[in-house]
Amino acid sequence: MLLRHTSEKIQERKALTINPAKTCQPIGAMYAALGIHGCMPHSHGSQGCCSYHRSTLTRHYKEPVMSGTSSFTEGASVFGGQANLVQAIDNLFTIYDPQVIAVHTTCLSETIGDDIPQIVSKAKDSGKVPEGKHVIHCNTPSYVGSHVTGYANMVKAMVTYFAQNSGDKNETINLICGWVEPSDMREIKRLSQMLNTQIILFPDTSNVLDAPQTGKLQFYPKGGTTVDQLTKAGDSKYSIGLGKFSTEDAAKEMDSRCGVPFSVLDVPIGLSATDRFIMEMAKVTGNKIPDEITDERGRLVDMITDMQQYLYGKRVALWGDPDTIIPLTEFLVDLEMKPVYIVSGTPGKYFEKRITEIAGDRVEGLKVKGGSCADMFLMHQWIKNEPVDLLIGNTYGKYIARDEDIPLLRMGFPIMDRVGHSCFPRVGYNGSMRILEGILGCLMDRLDRDAPEESFELVM
């Protein structure tokens, strides 16, 4: 038993988090920054943060993740990190030649109160920022929010620093993308193309964190939203944020700066959330929904029809990021499964409220918790009291899966022990088919494994 000390008896905890269902802000800022073309993320703090974030992103995406660090030692912690950041900006532009340096803070530089815009203007004044190059920043103290908040803050910074209203509005729709995989971003672009819609998607990590193997290192891969696109986003007709937690702030900022109206939808995971995304796109553009999209939807529904008997009433525990879990819960409810235990370390009352709305009267015994101490230890204790049929979440769930002998579908961040998650989409109708395929695979492998010989079925 790998988690042998996890007991059924639930004791209330106020101070101790065990096996968290979140991590800290800067890693989200680093991931978002990689969705800008030619961008070098930079971590302003001691170098361990940067090292940990690069390692974790690398383990998940299995791709190069570059990022600078201000390498604070004790001196910088006492006297402030200005000299370190100015030197870092000089070195990064001189040695690595990025278009943009995207600085995020850490709990260290936040606690000592370093003023990033002031330091950057110092760097500019002393000629360390070449003509036509940019330094943007966001504040990401690790003791506020979670990795999702950090992502949201960097996405907002993209708007703050770049978006401009030239007064010449066009028909483009801004799609502000929540924290999903590069493959998901590519799928969102494909759907937009089918909907005949001109979009600016940001951030966009496709072709950055799933770059091809060519034998030559592309220090800045060809993907990512360009500075030009981000600038022009201020002239767009409308913004759609995908994921309230990770994009609402950016959408609001775009509206208040450039007067671009917006709506915030769920990430299009599952049937209903994808329906809403497609309809919203059609509504804001006035375009007709093409038959190809209706066909894709129909294929998903067809698959559900075919396999419904294996899904009905199955109990599921899930954990991870609210923007992913909310539409996923809705999808499970649409499938008539029972998402009974749901935790997300990311704080925010909206999460619990929304989950309860979606699942409440359709899932008996729903337990949902967000924020501090909403951890995988608690979820495991719930499972020990009354088991589930399926786990959906990140790699850290494999210990519970093994101890409790429950199948696990890997979804979320980080996934460090499998590949595919960053290559095959899980958004849109096609992506939902892949989630369904995953769920069925898990449940049926289990059925096969447990079946006595006399009832072992060939056709299922």
Partner 1 sequence: MKKVINNGNKLKGDILEKYPTKVARKRSKSFVVNDPDNPPEIQANVRTVPGILTQRGCCYAGCKGVVLGPTRDIINLTHGPIGCGFYSWLTRRNQTRTGPEDDNYMTYCFSTDMQDENIVFGGEKKLRQAIQEAYDLFHPKAIAIFSTCPVGLIGDDVHAISREMKEKLGINVFGFSCEGYKGVSQSAGHHIANNQIFKHVVGQNNEEVEGKFKINLLGEYNIGGDSFVIENLLERCGITLVSTYSGNSTIDQFEQSHMADLNCIMCHRSINYVADMMETKFGIPWIKVNFIGADATAKSLRKIAQYFDDKKLMAKVEKVIEEEMVAVEQTIKEVKPRLEGKKVMLFVGGSRAHHYQYLFSEVGMVTVAAGYEFAHRDDYEGRKVLPYIKVDADSRNIEELTVEPDPERYRPRKTEEELKQLEKKGFTLRDYEGMIPEMESGSLVIDDISQYETEVLIEKYKPAVFCAGIKEKYIIQKMGVPLKQLHSYDYGGPFAGFIGAINFFKDIDRMVNTRVWALVKAPWSEEGVEDNCLIDADYVSEVA
Q: Restricting to residues 60-99, which ones interact with partner 1 according to CB under 8 A?
A: 62-77, 84-85, 87-92, 94-96
| CA–CA distance, 319 with 415 (Å, rounded to integer) | 13
Q: What is the DSSP letter of 144?
A: S
CA distance 393 to 316: 10
**235 Cβ contact partners less than 8 Å away, ≥ 6 residues apart:** 164, 165, 166, 168, 169, 170, 172, 258
Q: State how far the Cα of 420 lies from the Cα of 432, in Å rounded to an integer.
A: 15
- Per CB under 8 A, the list member of 32, 36, 39, 49 interacting with partner 1 is 49
Distance of closest approach, residue 138 Cβ to partner 1, in angstroms = 16
Q: What tokens were used for 432? A: 């939902």
DSSP labels, 211-222? PPP-SS--SS-S
Q: Is 458 in the site for partner 1 (CB under 8 A)?
A: no
Instruction: Provide, rounded to whole angstroms, the least separation between the CB of residue 367 and partner 1.
Output: 19
Are 99 and 38 in contact by the 8 Å Cβ rule? The answer is: yes
Q: Restricting to residues 370-399, which ones interact with partner 1 according to CB under 8 A?
A: 372-373, 377, 396, 399
* Nearest distance, CB of residue 189 and partner 1, angstroms: 24
Residue 435 carries which side chain, given as an amino acid letter? I
Question: What is the smallest separation between the CB atom of 329 and partner 1, expressed in angstroms?
Answer: 23
Question: Which residues on neighbouring strands pair with residue 130, listed in sequence order?
Answer: none
Instruction: For the segment 133-162, give every residue that binds partner 1 (CB under 8 A).
Output: 141-144, 146
- For residue 430, state whether it binds partner 1 (rule: CB under 8 A): no
Binding string, residues 201-240; x marks residues near partner 1 by CB under 8 A: ----------x-xxxxxx----------------------
127 interacts with partner 1 by CB under 8 A: no
Q: Is 58 in the site for partner 1 (CB under 8 A)?
A: yes
CB nearer to partner 1: pick between 47 and 231: 47
Of 403 and 437, nearer to partner 1 (C-beta) is: 403
Under a CB-based contact definition with an 8 Å cutoff, are residues 407 and 49 in contact? no
Spatial CA neighbour of 146 closest among 16, 52, 245, 44:
245
Binding mask 4-33 for partner 1 (x = CB under 8 A): xx-x---x-xxxxxxxx-xxxxxx------
167 or 215: CB nearest partner 1: 215
- Residue 63 Cβ vs partner 1, minimum distance, rounded to whole Å: 5
Task: Check residue 427 and report its DSSP letter.
Answer: S
For residues 52 and 59, give the distance between their C-alpha atoms in angstroms, rounded to a whole number.
Answer: 10
